[in-house]
Structure 1
Amino acid sequence: MPNLRLAFRTLRRTPFVTAVAVLSLALGIGANAAIFSLVRELLLAPLPVPHPEQLVIFGGNTPTPGSHQTTLAGGDSKWIFSYAMFRDLEAQPGPFSGVAGHQDFNANLAARGNVVNARAEFVSGSYFGVLGVKPAIGRLLGRDDDRVIGANAVAVLSHDYWQSQLGGDPSVVGTTMTVNGQSMRIIGVTEAGFQGTTLGNRPALFVPITMRGVLDAGYTGYEQRRQYWIYVFARLRPGVTLEQAAARENVVYHRIINQVEAPLQRGVSEATLARFKAKSLDLFDGRRGSSDLHDETRTPLVLLFGITMLVLAIACANIANLLLARSANRATEMSVRLSLGASRTHLLAQLLAESVLLASLGGLTGLGVAWATLHGIVALLPQEVSSTLAFAVDPSAIGFAAALSMTTGLLFGLFPALHGTRSELVTALRSGSNKTTAARGAARFRTSLGTAQFALSMALLVSAGLFIRSLDNVGRVRLGIDVDELVTFRLAPVLNGYSGAESQALFARVAREVGAIPGVRGVTAARVPLIGGNNWDNDMNVQGFPHGPDTDTDAYFNAVGPDFFRATGQPLVAGRELTASDALGAPRVAVVNEAFVKKFRLGDGAVGRMVGEGDSLTHVIVGVVKNAKYSGVKQEDRPVYFLPYAQDTTVGSLSFYVRSTVPARTLLPEIRGTLARIDRTLPVTSLKTMPQQIRENVYLDRLITTLSAGFAALATLLAAVGLYGVLAYSVAQRTREIGVRMALGASARSIVAMVLRSVGTMAVVGAAVGIAAAYGIGRGAESLLFGVRGSDPLVVIAAVVALSLVSLAASSIPAWRAARVDPTRALRYE
């Protein structure tokens, strides 16, 4: 305690220096705490269930000839299984205490007058039991709830939905709610904190997996072993390892594959069939659940975490230089205390207490920086993403900040403390001089820290430059559609119980009434949202193109409304547009894009050819349209075929596109009001301008670029402050030498050149090391870059120029002061 009180008094005597030090550390520690919060949320946090380390995820289920439905739980077909295969594995648990399946879906929920569109989850009756989740009230789904397909219209609410939409009323158990137009009885509520097993997806409710045929209109694929859609996980029995479980489970899996499923494969080559028979079931660590976000965010988060660590290193170098300068100024004090009998250990403890106190103050202030950084990150994310993740400075982040503060306090304070308490200070005191041989060592240390700051700043500037160029390239991508003054929104009447005919009538009314809003000059719609991250592909049969086993006949699909290409700004190359006359009962027609024509070798004769899905030839091509981005801005142009949605009675949801002659944002309230008059119980989702949709499609690029550029700018500022401090202190220490030089005839210009020469040496060495480090960072980040290599020379040159200008600005004041030294006064300086 005495050391801490003395440390407080010492720091209080130099408030400006203390404030600069605390702020520098706060920025470094706060940035690290914020990114650590993201790393923990997205990469480290286990599911809030008992013994999550016992959970395993099933995968490796490829090849899978047939149809696939993947979601955020895993975008690759290796993660999904047919319903029949899932039941086979569940019935023979072997090394597992239980096997469970799930699949999320979109739902319109209506309960006690509250109507919302939300994510929901189809789950097996074993789902909650395998996880070990308990109910907050009522009961959860059990095995008796999913034994018979379509027989149990029951639902379990998530704790969040129960609290936010139903006020946490316990009397809801036993009542009914409407889910996708179907009445469901509420049987319970999950415990607080449980958000399902897929990061980024927070289900509002859970229903038996056997109810999909009721809630997902038209689904009849329970017995189809070539329809893959269920994600499977299990809990290991005590004492069973992952490797042992995989070996035992594959015995069952191989038997089912070879005896049951292999004979069902039709239209595949011998090579594909052989691979199908030989495939194995893989087991993966399931403690964090299953989500594509784990893989998508790992590289950028690790990169950002490394960047913030470099920022903190620069801040620590500044503080070390500051403390080293203070130790030199306190040399007389330390000498006196040593000569009066104080032990070096006691003085070391005192100086380290000061550095740790500085770091602690920086850590406390850094929590505010972390909070502000996280809120800035949330502002860069789409609402669909930010609403499903918990961005908060939680206890683990506070603990991380505390540990980081203590570690940095000890690290950056150790050398100055050792230097400031060296035994030769007593000799220096007796000789009447503060100049000791260790001063040269301290000077070299300060120069080394300055050089290191140059290197780290250079690495960060080059990294930021790469991402800035990458984002600029993303912004220059030719989308193929005119997004200016275009508004989009999505309606799913099928989720409110509308029939196919009723949905078609509603779509026509929406187009008519929204089109009557002043300022609207065109309304159209599409089944697959434009550049919305959704993909829908099918195997195609194209007249005149070979159609056989293992032939790549895959193409992407969309069903669109009349005048779709004119309204969205996609020019025709040949033929005609889809029109209102292409309705139910009319000849079935299609429009294809240039990539489709190229893939299927249609040449100039595409119009008039027949196409169809699978083995059929059902539609005649009536037009060819230029390529446009399908689901992602950075995606290569894909072969796409467009059908009129009016010719398909199963269409139950559409994204609408409204072309306006007024600023698009001003139409949003008008559109919402019009839709409410049409059907107040029908949720409207994704109401936004298309430029906003484009920004959200590349949100990860924008996030990484903004953060890396911000951290690089911060690092450069800290490095400039550090450089200024090193030079100012060096000039002060060399005042007598400078006076002697000027007395002997040295000009002011030569003195400035002497100071700048020392800066140049640090800059050249630091830049060389920094460029080498940046090359390594760039190579590691190439998967995140678009249209730019990790060793782009223009970025390196720009970073060198920027850092040169910053270093010149930081060194100009100390150099100017050195040139103005009065030789007469300097010769009396000691």
Structure 2
Amino acid sequence: MRNLKFAIRTLSSTPFVTAIAIVSLALGIGATAGIFSVFHQVLLESLAVPDPSALVNLSAPGPKPGFGSCGREGDCEVVFSYAMFRDLQKVQTVFTDIAAHVGFAAHLAYEDRTSSSEGQLVSGSYFPVLELQPALGRLLNSNDDKLVGESRVVVLGYNYWSSRFGLDPTILNKPLIVNGQRLTIVGVVPKGFEGTTIGMQPAIYVPITLREMLDANFNSWSLRTDYWAYLFARLRPGVTIERARASLGAQYHAIVNDVEAPLQKDISPQTMARFRAKPILVEAGGRGQSVVPDQAKTPLRLLLGVTAFVLLIACANIANLLLARSAARAGEMAIRLSIGASRARLIGQLLTESLLLAVLGGIAGLVVAHWTLVLVASLLPPEVQRRIPFSISGTVILFGIVLTFATGLLFGLFPALHNTRLDLASALKNQAGQPSGAKGAARFRLLLATSQIALAMMLLASSGLFVKSLLNISRLDLGFKVDHVATFGLSPDLNGYSPDRTRVFYQRLEDELRAAPGVTAVTASNVLLLAGNNLSRGVAVQGFKAGPDTDSNSRYNRVGPGYFSALGIPLMAGREFTDADTVNSAKVALVNQTFAKKFGLGNDAVGKLMGWAPGEGYRSKLDTTIVGIVEDAKYSEVKQNVPPQFFVPYRQDKGLDALHVYVRASGDVAQVASAITAVVKRLDPNLPIEELETLPEQVRNNTFLDRMVTSLSAAFALLASLLAAIGLYGVLAYTVAQRTREIGLRMALGAAPGRVRGMVLRQVAVMTLAGALVGLGGALAVGKGAQSMLFQMTGADPTVLVLSTVALSLVALCAGFIPAHRASRVDPMRALKYE
């Protein structure tokens, strides 16, 4: 306690210096803790279930001839057929059970109020495997998924129960309309459980056997060539992952070879061999199933490393500050040692001061951590903000505490050891003597400052790479015109509309929107542009010969009349779709340039026939006429190459469901947005509008990860450069003060002020050159590791490296000029009397 009181008095005696130190530490600790919060929530946090370490995820990489659908839970390597799920559930002996799940879009209606949300279709084993207890009522169990279409029950998510029903306990046994179907509410999941997929917050959970009833386009219960179910399991007590992998692998291969291999048609012997040998993977599943960790792993590791380097620069600044103060306190330390104080006690006192600085910086860092999370959230699309609400958890606070004390020791230990290593005779003689090893301390200060320059150089060059990559993305020709376009989604089928009623609704919607003031064009598509979504199928094309292993896959989209002219996609040959292309007319399609090239159509595509490739349950006859070719335009991702793509009229789709509508305005899109809301409410006040936004916003959301990494890395690089400049200034200012007599002597002997300035600036140049070279090496390493995130450039871009070097050199020269200028104005007579 005595040490703490003395530390408070010592720091209070220099309030300005103490404030600078606290702010530097707060920025470093807070930024690191803020990014760690995101890192922890996305990559490290376990599911809110009992013993999550016993959970395992199952996946089935390898050939999957047939049809696959996948989403945020995992890519298409992960999914299983429903029939395989039931087979594995019956034969396995190493798990308490296996659970299946898949997300779905849900319209939820209660008391004449409908909202758009997302739900989770789950097997009866889902909640028992997770070992969850309900917050209210009961959860689903094995009795709820015995027969397809039965057990019309629903379990509410806790957050949905809270926001929609105000935690009303009387909600049990009341009806909830889900996608037009009446289900009975039987329970609520426990508080804190938000599903098993990062980036999804299901409002409801329904039996997986209700999928066909809730999704009119689904009828694949028995098809072993339709892959869509995600599986996880819980290990039995005492069973290791290795044992489970070996046991389940043998059972899986038996099913694949005895049951599924004989069903495969039109595949080569090589593919059949791979099909028979494909493995089943059993991996740790305590963090759930999601594509988000794989997508975010590299950028989050990068950002966490960047903030750690910023913190190191701040620590180097404080260490330099404490070393500079050691000279002024040498007499104090000498007196205390001479009257009997032990060196260990003095070291403890100095470390107490360092830790107090760190604690004050850590407390202020909580505010900076909150600001960092706010900044991160502001760079994310609204949809992601809703699904991943970042917050400072207890784990993050614990991390901040550990980081604070580690920081205090890191920047305080060397100054404390150095400050107590004194030549007592010299120190007591003038009570301003330098600690023994003062030259070593000076070299260490220069080394710290040079290290700061190196770290700042690395961060500046790395952020420059991301800035240029983002510029490359922003200059990319998307192939269509995004300005003055609003887009939104509608899912009439989820409100119980029949396909015929849906078709009439969309036609009325388009007609009324075209008549709205300021609207110049209206069209629609099944797949929203640049939303990360894809539809793809194997196709057969007239004149294109396909063998068993030939890649005949193409992306496709169902679109409305005038789609290409409304979006500004040039038509190269043929015609667009018109109102005459209906379900009763001849089937037609348009293709893009890449499709024509892939399937050898050249310039003669118009008039050729195409159709679905042969496959179980699908016609293989050439029954669709290609009526036009359009120029390539981006489809799913801004950064991906344009894929082969064909388009068909949505009005020819007999099972018409959800569409995304595009409305082009002559002026302000905001006015069009209000017109959209009014028209939809007039046509059906109970139909929710989904994701109403502008097309430029959609483009920005598609590249949000690039924008987030660029913005944060640039902000942290600028902060690092500022801290490095402050550190360099402090070192040079202290060095000039220590060399006052030497400088005065030089000037008394005839040295010109310019020469003195040059002497100091040469030291700056040497430190900057050494730091820049080391920093460039680090930047090249970062660029190599982040190559997958860079667009149309390499991690060793010479322009970025040169500009970063010039920028940092200017910062260093500016930081060094003030001490150099002061040195050149030293009065020789006063300097010679300087103590």
Q: Structure 2 length as normaliser, TM-score? A: 0.98
Mapped to 2, the partners of 1:316 and 1:673 lie a distance apart of: 58
Q: 1:69 and 2:69 equivalent?
A: yes
Q: Is the 1:665–1:689 contact (alpha carbons within 8 Å) kept by the matching residues of 2? A: no
Residue 202 of structure 1 and its aligned partner are, at CA, apart by 0.8
Q: Is the 2:581–2:652 contact (alpha carbons within 8 Å) kept by the matching residues of 1? A: yes
1:454 matched to which residue of 2? 453
1:165 matched to which residue of 2? 164
Q: Which stretches in structure 1 are left out of the alignment for 5+ residues?
A: none
Mapped to 1, the partners of 2:91 and 2:185 lie a distance apart of: 31
| Aligned mate of 1:641, from 634, 643, 646 | 646
2:261 matched to which residue of 1? 262
CA offset digits 1:768-796 (Å, max 9, x no partner): 11111111111001011111111111111
Mapped to 2, the partners of 1:116 and 1:379 lie a distance apart of: 25
Q: 1:496 and 2:492 equivalent?
A: no
Mapped to 2, the partners of 1:62 and 1:166 lie a distance apart of: 45
2:394 matched to which residue of 1? 395
Q: Is the 2:330–2:432 contact (alpha carbons within 8 Å) kept by the matching residues of 1? A: no
Mapped to 2, the partners of 1:686 and 1:505 lie a distance apart of: 22
Equivalent position amino acid for 2:490 in 1: L
Residue 663 of structure 1 and its aligned partner are, at CA, apart by 2.0
| Aligned mate of 2:678, from 673, 679, 684 | 673
| Aligned mate of 2:709, from 699, 704, 714 | 704
Q: Is the 1:592–1:640 contact (alpha carbons within 8 Å) kept by the matching residues of 2? A: yes
Mapped to 2, the partners of 1:631 and 1:363 lie a distance apart of: 43
Equivalent position amino acid for 1:777 in 2: V
CA offset digits 1:563-582 (Å, max 9, x no partner): 00000000000011111111
Q: 1:687 and 2:686 equivalent?
A: no
Q: Is the 2:418–2:435 contact (alpha carbons within 8 Å) kept by the matching residues of 1? A: no
Mapped to 2, the partners of 1:619 and 1:171 lie a distance apart of: 55
1:603 matched to which residue of 2? 602
Residue 651 of structure 1 and its aligned partner are, at CA, apart by 1.6
2:16 matched to which residue of 1? 16
1:783 matched to which residue of 2? 788
Equivalent position amino acid for 1:66 in 2: G
Residue 383 of structure 1 and its aligned partner are, at CA, apart by 1.2
Q: Is the 1:61–1:81 contact (alpha carbons within 8 Å) kept by the matching residues of 2? A: no
2:211 matched to which residue of 1? 212
Mapped to 2, the partners of 1:584 and 1:170 lie a distance apart of: 48
Equivalent position amino acid for 2:673 in 1: L
Equivalent position amino acid for 1:235 in 2: R
Percentage identity across paired residues of the two chains: 51
> Secondary structure of 1:605's partner?
coil
Q: Is the 1:181–1:497 contact (alpha carbons within 8 Å) kept by the matching residues of 2? A: yes
Equivalent position amino acid for 1:594 in 2: Q
Residue 259 of structure 1 and its aligned partner are, at CA, apart by 1.0
Matches within 5 A, 1:417-428: 417-428=416-427
Mapped to 2, the partners of 1:145 and 1:386 lie a distance apart of: 33
Mapped to 2, the partners of 1:800 and 1:742 lie a distance apart of: 33
Moved more, 65-74 or 436-445: 436-445
Residue 170 of structure 1 and its aligned partner are, at CA, apart by 1.0
1:275 matched to which residue of 2? 274
1:295 matched to which residue of 2? 294
2:810 matched to which residue of 1? 805
CA offset digits 1:354-398 (Å, max 9, x no partner): 010000000000000000110111111011111111301111111
Residue 438 of structure 1 and its aligned partner are, at CA, apart by 1.7
Q: 1:760 and 2:760 equivalent?
A: no
Q: 1:413 and 2:415 equivalent?
A: no
CA offset digits 1:299-352 (Å, max 9, x no partner): 111111111110000000000000111111111111122222222111111111
1:32 matched to which residue of 2? 32
Equivalent position amino acid for 2:612 in 1: E
| Aligned mate of 2:669, from 638, 656, 664 | 664
> Secondary structure of 1:730's partner?
helix
CA offset digits 1:184-240 (Å, max 9, x no partner): 111100000111111111111011110011000131110111000000111111111
Mapped to 2, the partners of 1:256 and 1:433 lie a distance apart of: 85
Runs of 4+ that moved beyond 2 A: 425-428, 430-433
> Secondary structure of 1:78's partner?
coil
2:616 matched to which residue of 1? none
CA offset digits 1:672-713 (Å, max 9, x no partner): 122122211111111000000000000000000000000000
1:197 matched to which residue of 2? 196
Residue 60 of structure 1 and its aligned partner are, at CA, apart by 2.6
Residue 588 of structure 1 and its aligned partner are, at CA, apart by 1.0
Residue 85 of structure 1 and its aligned partner are, at CA, apart by 0.6
Mapped to 1, the partners of 2:413 and 2:246 lie a distance apart of: 53
Mapped to 1, the partners of 2:58 and 2:499 lie a distance apart of: 36
Residue 665 of structure 1 and its aligned partner are, at CA, apart by 3.1
1:317 matched to which residue of 2? 316
Residue 114 of structure 1 and its aligned partner are, at CA, apart by 3.5
1:524 matched to which residue of 2? 523
Residue 607 of structure 1 and its aligned partner are, at CA, apart by 0.2
> Secondary structure of 2:135's partner?
strand
Residue 154 of structure 1 and its aligned partner are, at CA, apart by 0.6
Residue 517 of structure 1 and its aligned partner are, at CA, apart by 1.6
2:376 matched to which residue of 1? 377
Q: Is the 1:41–1:390 contact (alpha carbons within 8 Å) kept by the matching residues of 2? A: no
Mapped to 2, the partners of 1:626 and 1:423 lie a distance apart of: 78
Q: 1:629 and 2:634 equivalent?
A: yes
2:49 matched to which residue of 1? 49
Residue 498 of structure 1 and its aligned partner are, at CA, apart by 0.3
1:340 matched to which residue of 2? 339
> Secondary structure of 2:387's partner?
coil
Mapped to 1, the partners of 2:341 and 2:442 lie a distance apart of: 27
Mapped to 1, the partners of 2:431 and 2:178 lie a distance apart of: 88
> Secondary structure of 2:603's partner?
helix
CA offset digits 1:637-659 (Å, max 9, x no partner): 11110001111121211000011
Equivalent position amino acid for 1:287 in 2: G
Mapped to 1, the partners of 2:485 and 2:240 lie a distance apart of: 55
Q: Is the 2:451–2:771 contact (alpha carbons within 8 Å) kept by the matching residues of 1? A: yes
Equivalent position amino acid for 2:822 in 1: R
1:475 matched to which residue of 2? 474
Mapped to 2, the partners of 1:725 and 1:258 lie a distance apart of: 73
CA offset digits 1:388-410 (Å, max 9, x no partner): 11301111111111111101101
Mapped to 1, the partners of 2:149 and 2:265 lie a distance apart of: 29
Moved more, 421-430 or 583-592: 421-430
Q: Is the 1:145–1:152 contact (alpha carbons within 8 Å) kept by the matching residues of 2? A: yes
Mapped to 1, the partners of 2:368 and 2:779 lie a distance apart of: 26
Q: Is the 2:199–2:292 contact (alpha carbons within 8 Å) kept by the matching residues of 1? A: yes
Mapped to 2, the partners of 1:520 and 1:784 lie a distance apart of: 38
CA offset digits 1:525-581 (Å, max 9, x no partner): 001111111000000000000022111110011010000000000000001111111
Q: Is the 2:332–2:431 contact (alpha carbons within 8 Å) kept by the matching residues of 1? A: no
2:622 matched to which residue of 1? 617
Equivalent position amino acid for 2:291 in 1: D
Moved more, 222-231 or 340-349: 340-349
Residue 433 of structure 1 and its aligned partner are, at CA, apart by 5.2
Matches within 5 A, 1:49-128: 49-75=49-75, 77-128=76-127
Residue 432 of structure 1 and its aligned partner are, at CA, apart by 6.0
Residue 426 of structure 1 and its aligned partner are, at CA, apart by 4.2
Residue 510 of structure 1 and its aligned partner are, at CA, apart by 1.1
Equivalent position amino acid for 2:255 in 1: I
Q: Is the 1:504–1:649 contact (alpha carbons within 8 Å) kept by the matching residues of 2? A: no
Equivalent position amino acid for 2:799 in 1: L
Residue 436 of structure 1 and its aligned partner are, at CA, apart by 5.2
1:577 matched to which residue of 2? 576
Mapped to 2, the partners of 1:574 and 1:81 lie a distance apart of: 42
Mapped to 2, the partners of 1:532 and 1:776 lie a distance apart of: 32
Residue 61 of structure 1 and its aligned partner are, at CA, apart by 3.9
CA offset digits 1:793-826 (Å, max 9, x no partner): 1111011000011011111111110000000100
> Secondary structure of 1:212's partner?
helix
1:769 matched to which residue of 2? 774
Mapped to 1, the partners of 2:407 and 2:424 lie a distance apart of: 27
| Aligned mate of 2:752, from 747, 759, 773 | 747
Mapped to 1, the partners of 2:426 and 2:746 lie a distance apart of: 29
1:187 matched to which residue of 2? 186
Q: 1:240 and 2:212 equivalent?
A: no
1:592 matched to which residue of 2? 591
1:487 matched to which residue of 2? 486
